[in-house]
């Protein structure tokens, strides 16, 4: 068989040669560093055989695919340690996740933090023993019999759900055998540093009607130094937790009376309105119009759009006048109804319609997390109806707009392209045209991207923007989806230059993703220290004593008249206390006013980082503040 390497060189091997053998043949040093390979777009472990002509790219721990292999193997390592320490445990599932791994267990024993230390020690013992991971296959009946004898009810349940005829594979690590597709490391010797992070509850299959299992989260690395850096980032992330800062800064709250439905406070509404006004200004400049569509629409619409078949488990329903309605989980069908109100000419296209649309999605209570995972949120949606000949230019325009917006907030980002999923609508030809359209737009801008095979929306491929925050975490925010399916389902038309009725192409896109989640990301990215242009309160005026309050109010009035957001601390407290409390509120500037300032009509300026900027005329300070707002300066 022929193996094509990233440099397009081709090597030949016997069919059945393993990933490890091929990697060793390329370079012994590479084999020592490798954790697996991407073969024909699929991630494979070191012990897996290759049986056909393939493209072949070696991956290391630092690669996304490498981390997935490493952490998946670590989940098996943890499960093996638990099997040795707690023989009565029943095993459920143990996947790799974005920042480590977890495994779900069923046991009468309640795991404690002290248990985590014991499990870590046992994992280290196993690493010293260095058992290899052995992959093998069983047929369905044999596999069910094997796990039934062990009373591993969750493994039997999983096997029974595997479609008939599909290969059922297993991995053995020492005495631990797990139903698993892989991929895995060749052995566990690379797992040098480990930390079990937490214990949580999780329903089997995520179903509240099923049994509650115990979930243990962990993370591992090749080097202790990397683990230490990771744990430092975790501690920093705790300090930046948007739920904690949101409460301290008076931005938002969550309540048991409305789980998953955020309550925005006055400061939070100031921030939200700044973002919405900014969004409107940028979209107006980019040639968008704004629409608004209802949040409740007839159920038949959701059947027609395809959301019913693909999304109904996440939707809320109601009845009006003995007819069934749904609360919208997405804005696109409403935008389509607006389009259908008129018959457009090709001269009218492209139509670019933005909508700050409130949507509702039913999330399991255990998945709710501050503003990051809610049940009601406002998408900064836009739907573009375009000619086929306009697709590339419009995609380029959306990418440029997203780039401009993310830079205004100081974010770096990377792009991922997701292709056709298994449960998609439409023909292979339509998907190929749509996918190539996205690729062409990225090529036009010379933008690199990561390919995610099979991860597109059910109606079209997509580009996702992943933002990197101040401590190196990434957040998926914006998305662009190219859609031939909705125009077909809703029979959308325009009159072309030849007088014929034709289908427009539809682009779906967001840039913030959702207002709520983006606000949460901003809180954590800036650690609550918002740039001047975003800060709900930009300046606090701090008179040294009551006799300077009148001058303080003059200063406030002047600043407010120029559009700056100002408050004052007029309490009869010492100035040191006022300054400390203003710093805790993370306000960009404090203006201290005493006898000297009142007589000279100046202000004494302090920045929130503690820097004393000294006295300034009110005009000079105001010019400085307004320039920071206008230029959207990102500062500490």
Which residue among 379, 390, 485, 538 is the active-site one?
379
Q: From the candidates 508, 509, 517, 585, give the one annotated as an active-site residue.
A: 508
> Is 72 assigned a catalytic role?
no
Phi, psi torsion values for 76, nearest 5 degrees? -65, -40
Q: Is 361 one of the annotated active-site residues of the chain? A: yes
Determine the number of helices (DSSP H) and then strands (DSSP E) in the chain.
20, 36
- Which residue in 383, 392, 473, 606 is the catalytic one? 383
Q: Is 146 a catalytic residue?
A: no
Q: How distant, in Å, are the alpha carbons of 75, 101, 139, 300, 331 from that of 217? A: 9, 6, 31, 42, 36
Distance (Å, rounded) from C-alpha 191 to C-alpha 70? 8
83 is catalytic: no
CA distance 102 to 75: 6
Catalytic residue among 72, 155, 361, 578: 361
Residues 6+ apart with CB under 8 A from 387: 346, 349, 350, 494, 504, 505
The contacts of residue 170 (CB under 8 Å, 6+ apart) are 135, 136, 137, 138, 143, 177, 178, 179, 180
**In this structure, what token pair is assigned to residue 288?**
């968008």
381 flagged as catalytic: yes
Q: Is 357 left (phi over 0), alpha (psi -120 to 50) or beta?
A: beta
205 tagged catalytic: no
Orientation of helix 64-85 relative to helix 113-129, angle to 10°: 110
The token duo for 566 is 């100002």
Instruction: Choose the catalytic residue: 332, 352, 469, 473.
Output: 332
DSSP helix/strand/coil, 24:
helix
**104, 381, 403, 569: which is the annotated catalytic residue?**
381
| Annotation marks residue 307 as catalytic | no
Q: E strands along 5-111, which residues?
A: 10-12, 17-18, 36-39, 42-45, 49-50, 54-59, 90-91, 96-97, 100-106
Would you name the residues annotated as active-site residues? 332, 361, 379, 381, 383, 462, 508
């Amino acid at each position: 068989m022929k193996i094509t390497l990233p440099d397009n060189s081709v090597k030949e091997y016997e069919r059945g040669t393993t990933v490890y053998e091929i990697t060793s043949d390329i370079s012994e040093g590479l084999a020592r560093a490798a954790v697996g390979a991407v073969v024909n777009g699929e991630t494979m472990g070191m012990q897996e055989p290759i049986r056909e002509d393939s493209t072949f790219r070696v991956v290391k721990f630092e690669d996304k695919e490498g981390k997935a292999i490493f952490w998946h193997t670590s989940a098996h390592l943890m499960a093996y340690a638990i099997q040795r320490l707690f023989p009565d445990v029943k095993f459920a599932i143990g996947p790799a996740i974005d920042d480590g791994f977890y495994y779900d267990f069923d046991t009468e024993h309640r795991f404690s933090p002290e248990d985590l230390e014991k499990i870590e020690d046992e994992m280290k013992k196993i690493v010293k023993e260095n058992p290899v991971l052995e992959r093998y296959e069983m047929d369905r009946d044999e596999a069910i019999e094997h796990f039934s004898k062990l009373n591993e009810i969750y493994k039997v349940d999983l096997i029974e759900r595997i479609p008939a005829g599909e290969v059922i594979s297993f991995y053995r690590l020492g005495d631990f055998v797990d139903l698993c597709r892989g991929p895995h490391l060749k052995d566990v010797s690379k797992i040098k540093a480990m930390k079990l992070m937490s214990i949580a509850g999780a329903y089997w299959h995520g179903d509240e009607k099923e049994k509650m299992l115990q979930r243990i989260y962990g993370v591992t690395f090749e080097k202790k130094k990397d683990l230490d850096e990771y744990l430092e980032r975790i501690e920093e992330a705790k300090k930046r937790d948007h739920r904690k800062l949101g409460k301290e800064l008076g931005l938002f709250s969550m309540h048991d009376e409305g789980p998953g439905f955020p309550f925005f406070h006055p400061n939070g509404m100031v921030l939200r309105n700044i973002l919405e006004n900014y969004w409107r200004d940028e979209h107006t400049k980019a040639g968008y119009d704004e629409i608004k569509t209802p949040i409740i629409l007839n159920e038949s619409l959701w059947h027609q759009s395809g959301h019913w078949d693909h999304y109904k488990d996440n939707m809320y329903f109601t009845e009006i006048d003995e007819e069934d309605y749904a609360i919208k989980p997405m804005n696109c069908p409403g935008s389509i109804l607006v389009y259908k109100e008129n018959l457009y000419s090709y001269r009218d296209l492209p139509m670019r319609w933005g909508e700050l649309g409130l949507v509702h999605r039913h999330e399991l209570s255990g998945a709710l997390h501050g503003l990051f995972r809610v049940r009601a949120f406002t998408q900064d949606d836009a739907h573009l109806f375009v000619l086929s000949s306009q697709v590339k230019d419009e995609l380029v325009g959306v990418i440029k707009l997203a780039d401009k917006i993310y830079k205004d907030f100081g974010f770096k980002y990377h792009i991922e392209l997701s292709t056709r999923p298994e449960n998609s609508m439409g023909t292979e030809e339509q998907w190929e045209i749509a996918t190539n359209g996205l690729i062409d737009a990225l090529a036009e801008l010379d933008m690199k991207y990561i390919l995610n095979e099979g991860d597109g929306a059910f109606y079209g491929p997509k580009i996702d923007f992943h933002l990197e925050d101040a401590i190196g975490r990434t957040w998926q925010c914006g998305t662009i989806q190219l859609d031939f399916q909705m125009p077909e389902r809703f029979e959308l038309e325009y009159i072309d230059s030849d007088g014929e009725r034709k289908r427009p192409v539809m682009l779906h896109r967001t840039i913030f993703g959702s207002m709520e989640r983006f606000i949460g990301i901003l809180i954590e990215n800036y650690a609550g220290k918002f740039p001047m242009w975003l800060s709900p309160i930009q300046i606090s005026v701090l008179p040294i004593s009551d006799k300077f309050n009148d001058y303080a109010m003059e200063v406030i009035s002047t600043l407010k008249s120029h559009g700056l957001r100002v408050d004052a601390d007029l309490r009869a407290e010492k100035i040191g206390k006022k300054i400390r409390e203003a710093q805790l509120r993370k306000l960009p500037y404090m203006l201290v006013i005493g006898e000297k300032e009142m007589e000279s009509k100046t202000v004494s300026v302090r920045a929130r980082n503690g820097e004393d900027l000294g006295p300034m005329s009110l005009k000079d300070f105001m010019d400085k503040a307004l320039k920071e707002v206008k230029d959207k300066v990102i500062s500490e």
